[in-house]
Amino acid sequence: MPKLFIETLGCAMNSRDSEHIIAQLREREGYTTTQEFKEADLILINTCSVRERPVHKLFSELGVFHKKKKEGAKIGVCGCTASHLGEEIIKRAPYVNFVLGARNVSKISEVLHKDRAVETDINYDESEFAFNDFRTSAYKAFINISIGCDKACTFCIVPKTRGDEISIPADLIINEAQKAVNAGAKEIFLLGQNVNNYGRRFSGDTQKINFTELLHRLSKIEKLERIRFTSPHPFHMDDAFIKEFAHNPKICNSIHMPLQSGSTKILKAMKRGYTKEWFINRVEKLRAESPGVSISTDIIVAFPGENDEDFADTIDVMKRVRFDQIFSFKYSPRPETEAEHLPQIDSEIASQRLSYLQTLNNEILDEIHAECLGNSYRVYFEDLIHDGYVSGRSDNNLLIKVKGSEELLGTFHEVKVNAIGRTILTGEILA
Ligand code: SF4
């Protein structure tokens, strides 16, 4: 059986696309997967282009694959960088056999048998394509609920690589969730660029429901214990959504709310569609309706035009919200985005702001985790980690490890925290 090596960069949606690619190649072409690219008949790299660094990494990696690959092995490039560079990838690396865009995953078999194929149409609609089944984890199922994005955040390349936003029909999503639960998963993780904008547009004649209703229907699936999702957009966080989030017992009490900046002036320049006050208002509403909710976020520092007052606004939001996790980055100009050619903030200032923000974030995290000591949480064990530990997450997304082995995987247990760390807590099983 031919062997496939696939490397996935970037976000959870890329990981799910890689699972779809493996499923198609396994079912249609008889491939098995290998973790060793030197023995692979097909080497795939599923790329990310949200910042410049992953793009640089792509070409250096392609060079290594080309030099060390097995005689006759093929190399393919997929994902967001494939969508926006297209032909240029083959020009710069002529040993690449095909390029498959993030919106064309269902065409993997087609491009495999065509040399130098480039399939990167970002308007191609595979929202109703029923992919074969493959999952990396038996315990948690990632499920796409939409493709593309209709927003126009001025720093973001995603609309140019993943195309317009189309919701996947609810019955396809519910079927996929039911199948995953039948196969043993107790948790589903819904994926989309703007999950709470779900239902605005479908490609076919399907029943229109919104995200709140979709969550409600999914929670009816028996033996499904937990529902998580990413990313909701703060703009679409209406009261009905927050009520369902807070009062549906299967929806985990943790949410990712990408802030990007705490300055209303910068949020306007980013075309995020909300203000500092609206973001804070939604956080207060969430906490009022769902006490103990954990909130994570994304923040970009040094977006063009950000002055000390703007940065101080971001720090102010951090101190008032006390996020449970922050993914923070310096602004990276992306091709074909509205902000691409705006004058840049001095990189020294950008680095200072990022390091100040991350230091403050670590202080807040240490305080939040210190408050967990002695508390007990219901943990769903998903991963075997080093030194005889197994890890899992609490309902409010704390990562907790206990001494144990694989018989704990896929089970829930009450765990008392007896040691804290910045990224993972340690505990003992109570029941
Ligand atoms: S909502 Fe904005 S940041 Fe998110 S994927 Fe769409 S354009 Fe990018």
Model-wide pTM > 0.85 = yes
Cβ atoms 79, 40 nearer than 8 A: no
Task: Please tell me if the CB atom of residue 18 comes closer than 6 angstroms to any atom of ligand 1.
Answer: no
Ligand 1 centre to CA of 193 (Å) is 6
Q: Give the whole-angstrom CA distance, residue 4 versus residue 379.
A: 34
Q: Give the whole-angstrom CA distance, residue 115 versus residue 90.
A: 11
**205/109 same-domain check:** no
Task: Please give the residue range of the domain that contains residue 84.
Answer: 3-119
**192/220 same-domain check:** yes
Q: Give the residue, out of 157, 158, 197, 261, with the most ligand 1 atoms within 8 A of its beta carbon, to mutate for a pocket test.
A: 158
Q: Give the whole-angstrom CA distance, residue 424 versus residue 387.
A: 14
- The number of folded domains in the chain is 3
Q: Give the whole-angstrom CA distance, residue 112 versus residue 101.
A: 13
Tell me the one-letter amino acid at 313: D
**66/140 same-domain check:** no
Task: Please tell me if the CB atom of residue 190 comes closer than 6 angstroms to any atom of ligand 1.
Answer: no
3-state secondary structure (DSSP) of residue 358? helix
**147/197 same-domain check:** yes
Domain-ending residue, one of 208, 223, 252: 252
pLDDT for residue 170: 97
Phi, psi angles (nearest 5°) of residue 224: -80, 125
**101/145 same-domain check:** no
Domain-ending residue, one of 192, 222, 252: 252
Task: Please tell me if the CB atom of residue 180 comes closer than 6 angstroms to any atom of ligand 1.
Answer: no
User: Where residue 98 sits, what CATH number does that domain have?
Assistant: 3.40.50.12160
Task: Please tell me if the CB atom of residue 194 comes closer than 6 angstroms to any atom of ligand 1.
Answer: yes
- Does the residue 279 lie in any domain? no
- Does the residue 213 lie in any domain? yes
- Does the residue 102 lie in any domain? yes
Query: pLDDT by residue for the chain (431 residues), tens digit each?
Result: 899 999 999 999 999 999 999 999 999 999 999 999 999 999 999 999 988 788 888 999 999 999 999 999 999 999 999 999 999 999 999 999 999 999 999 999 999 999 999 999 999 999 999 898 999 999 999 999 999 999 999 999 999 999 999 999 999 999 999 999 999 999 999 999 999 999 999 999 888 999 999 999 999 999 999 999 999 999 999 999 999 999 999 999 999 999 999 999 999 999 999 999 999 999 999 999 999 999 999 999 999 999 999 999 999 999 999 999 999 999 999 999 999 999 999 999 999 999 999 999 999 999 999 999 999 999 999 999 988 999 999 999 999 999 999 999 999 999 999 999 999 999 999 98
DSSP run (H or E) holding 83? helix 80-85
Ligand 1 centre to CA of 174 (Å) is 25
pLDDT for residue 224: 98
Tell me the one-letter amino acid at 201: R
- Does the residue 221 lie in any domain? yes
pLDDT for residue 57: 85
Q: What single DSSP character describes residue 197?
A: G
**98/169 same-domain check:** no
**23/60 same-domain check:** yes
Ligand 1 atom showing the smallest separation from residue 150 Cα: 6
**45/87 same-domain check:** yes
Task: Please tell me if the CB atom of residue 267 comes closer than 6 angstroms to any atom of ligand 1.
Answer: no
**11/114 same-domain check:** yes
Ligand 1 centre to CA of 234 (Å) is 11
Ligand 1 atom showing the smallest separation from residue 156 Cα: 8
pLDDT for residue 420: 96
- Does the residue 366 lie in any domain? no
Distance of CA 271 to the CA centre of its chain: 21
**105/12 same-domain check:** yes
Cβ atoms 295, 286 nearer than 8 A: yes
- Does the residue 71 lie in any domain? yes
> Which residue owns the Cα nearest ligand 1 atom 1?
151
Task: Please tell me if the CB atom of residue 149 comes closer than 6 angstroms to any atom of ligand 1.
Answer: yes
- Does the residue 276 lie in any domain? no
pLDDT for residue 259: 98
**167/234 same-domain check:** yes
Contacts of 71 (CB under 8 A, 6+ apart): none
User: Where residue 246 sits, what CATH number does that domain have?
Assistant: 3.30.750.210
Q: What single DSSP character describes residue 47?
A: E
Ligand 1 atom showing the smallest separation from residue 272 Cα: 2
Task: Please tell me if the CB atom of residue 102 comes closer than 6 angstroms to any atom of ligand 1.
Answer: no
- Does the residue 355 lie in any domain? no
Q: Give the whole-angstrom CA distance, residue 385 versus residue 324.
A: 22
Domain-ending residue, one of 252, 276, 303: 252
Q: Give the whole-angstrom CA distance, residue 21 versus residue 16.
A: 9
Q: Give the residue, out of 13, 149, 166, 266, with the most ligand 1 atoms within 8 A of its beta carbon, to mutate for a pocket test.
A: 149
User: Where residue 398 sits, what CATH number does that domain have?
Assistant: 2.40.50.140
3-state secondary structure (DSSP) of residue 399? strand
**23/96 same-domain check:** yes
Q: How far is CA 65 from CA 6, 77, 95, 399, in A?
A: 12, 12, 10, 34
